[in-house]
Structure 1
Amino acid sequence: MHPAKSVIFFTTASGAGYGLLALLIAGNVLGVVPAHFWLAFIGYAVSYVLITGGLLSSTFHLGHPERAWRALTQWRSSWLSREGVMAILTFIPTGLYALHQLFFPDMMQGIMGLVGILGVIFCIVTVYCTAMIYASLKPIHAWSNNYVPAGYLLLALMSGLLLLNVLLALWGTTETSLQLATLLVLGIAFAWKITYWRFLDSSKSISTPESATGLGEFGAVKLFEAPHTEANYLMKEMGFKIARKHSAKLRLITLLAGFVAPILLILISLFFGTVGTGVLLTLAILSAAIGLVTERWLFFAEARHTVGLYYGASHA
């Protein structure tokens, strides 16, 4: 599949935004994140900028972005529509809780606590809906599996934790328990990515040229002549190919920048003072950003659509 820059930014930025937003609210409800006005204000601002920027960028991939609103009407059958509806709905409980925490922290604490929990659930559901946009596409073997939604949720949590660690460090405070939780999630995400790639390399779609054309009863089916003299839309968007050697290099960059480097930087930060911790945690999120963008580019580039079987591909 063709890796569109707008969709890559959408999935990585919005995932990080929802991860940070959910953690800020959950941390405040549970009392584990310091109740500092400017810490919360900037934290919510960063999360909403990432979410809004990601959602807006997703419309750039459409042929007619001005018609994007129409997707919201198909929520009964479309995960894309459900994601859009949930993204809008999530602004309500999270926005109310953010306003409560910032300006009216002593009012209706019990009710607003429930609103905050609802906001966290909505964040999780929205990220899940984003993942299901891809996991629901049965013609794409690399996406139509349980690894995809698990990965989207894991990476959203991981990036949210990294952002929250940086925010706390910038305010001169660190939470060892939070850093340890971040290390745990980074380790789980690293294991998930390795497992997903092993699945990708050791399996392929059940669709074949024989099943795609319905000519399997006559024997092996091979492409006799290309249906087009030049690349068409399907070949450009769904027939994108990446060389194995490039894929291996980019996978290594993903693992080193996205997981290994942040783990090492956080481990080192545990032995430094506040100033050193802030620098190291900032480097960790910057490294993770490079790794996550590379990971998401590969997520699209390595996916094979069944339509490729009509253009000479041996498997999907």
Structure 2
Amino acid sequence: MHPAFSVVFFTTATGAGYGLLALLGVLGGLGFIPADFWLGLIGMGLALGLIAAGLLSSTGHLGRPERAWRAFSQWRSSWLSREGVASVATFIPAGLFGLGWVVFGRTGGWVAIAGLLATIGAVVTVCTTGMIYASLKPIAQWHGRYTLPGYLIFSVMTGSVLLNSLLQAFAIGSTAIAAAALLLTLLGWGWKLATWRYNDRLEIATTANTATGLAGGTVRSLEWPHTEENYLLKEMGFRIARKHAAKLRGITQALAFALPALLLLAVLFALPWPLAAVPSVLAAIVQFAGMLVERWLFFAEAKHTVTLYYGR
């Protein structure tokens, strides 16, 4: 796949935004987070801002962005359409939750119900995003058991690190939240390593013979189906050198997992407030940058079987 930045930013930003929204909704609704005006304003603003920015960025990958609304009509059969419906629907309880928290200064009662519904909507939306890719049988690296759980793990991981940075900045940092962010970061790291190991050992049964339906001997491509570069090759035929992939995997591990984990360890065991706020915020920024690299690799390393028709 050709990693367009609009899609890379979309999956990274919405994942972090929905993860933060889900945690704010459930923890705020259950009273674990105080109904502070500025915390609610900045926290909900950050979560909804990341989601909106990601969704708007995704339209940049469309050939005709003005027709994006038509995607909502295919919710019965398309995971992309279901994602659009779920994302818009989630804004309703999320808006009510933010309104109750910021304007009325409360997170209980009907506001708590709205927060829990926003959490459910966020989880459902992330699931639909993951299924867009997990349902694609022609791309073996995505059509496996690691894709959907990976989307959920990375969403709550980045969301928890963002939440920890917010709480630390407002001097209400929680050891439990920081510890959860650290454990989720380590879980995400382990899951990514397992995914890479699975994909590297993946044996794709489809060959040029099976793709063309020509049995016997070895099928070789004498000429391309098209005389020049086209959409299929631009979107589905991207190739990345092994040495570059290895280098980017190292950058991903350092920025998305290792460095944030070390910064969170410093918050837990070494630094009191307000010093703890600095590494907490830095961990969120560094991890977001690392996840941009991880998402780029997610697309770049995928191989679509359509490339078999081009002798690749």
1:287–1:171 distance in 2 versus 1, CA, 3 Å: same
Name 1:155's counterpart in structure 2: 154
Unaligned runs of 5+ in 1: none
Q: Give matches, 1:26-175, under 5 Å.
A: 26-105=26-105, 109-175=108-174
Give SS of 2:302's match: coil
Distance in 1 (CA, whole Å) between partners of 2:35 and 2:112 is 14
Shifted more, 141-150 versus 77-86: the winner is 141-150
Distance in 2 (CA, whole Å) between partners of 1:69 and 1:132 is 20
Q: After superposition, what is the alpha-carbon deviation per residue over 1:240-277, rounded to whole angstroms, capped at 9, x for unaligned?
A: 00000000000010011100100001101221121221
Q: After superposition, what is the alpha-carbon deviation per residue over 1:182-226, rounded to whole angstroms, capped at 9, x for unaligned?
A: 11111111110000000100013321111100002x222122233
Distance in 2 (CA, whole Å) between partners of 1:56 and 1:139 is 27
1:296: Cα distance to partner? 0.1
1:65: Cα distance to partner? 0.2
Does residue 242 (structure 1) correspond to residue 240 (structure 2)? The answer is yes
Name 1:251's counterpart in structure 2: 249
Name 1:188's counterpart in structure 2: 187
Contact 2:29–2:111 under 8 Å retained in 1:
no
Give SS of 1:46's match: helix
Shifted more, 56-65 versus 96-105: the winner is 96-105
Give SS of 2:276's match: helix
Aligned residue pairs total 311
Give SS of 1:24's match: helix
C-alpha RMSD over aligned residues: 1.4
Distance in 1 (CA, whole Å) between partners of 2:93 and 2:181 is 26
Contact 2:130–2:148 under 8 Å retained in 1:
yes
Distance in 2 (CA, whole Å) between partners of 1:98 and 1:163 is 17
Name 1:12's counterpart in structure 2: 12
Q: After superposition, what is the alpha-carbon deviation per residue over 1:271-312, rounded to whole angstroms, capped at 9, x for unaligned?
A: 112122111112111211121000000000000001011011
Distance in 1 (CA, whole Å) between partners of 2:105 and 2:229 is 59
Amino acid at match of 1:171: F
Percent identity, please: 52
Amino acid at match of 2:64: H
Distance in 2 (CA, whole Å) between partners of 1:115 and 1:229 is 55
Unaligned runs of 5+ in 2: none
TM-score by length of 2: 0.96
Distance in 1 (CA, whole Å) between partners of 2:72 and 2:226 is 36
Q: After superposition, what is the alpha-carbon deviation per residue over 1:48-101, rounded to whole angstroms, capped at 9, x for unaligned?
A: 111011101101100000000000000000000000000010011111122112
Distance in 2 (CA, whole Å) between partners of 1:205 and 1:273 is 52
Contact 1:15–1:152 under 8 Å retained in 2:
yes
Name 2:294's counterpart in structure 1: 295
TM-score by length of 1: 0.95
Name 2:219's counterpart in structure 1: 221
1:229: Cα distance to partner? 4.2
Contact 1:93–1:115 under 8 Å retained in 2:
yes
Contact 1:235–1:308 under 8 Å retained in 2:
yes
Contact 1:173–1:274 under 8 Å retained in 2:
no
Distance in 2 (CA, whole Å) between partners of 1:106 and 1:67 is 39
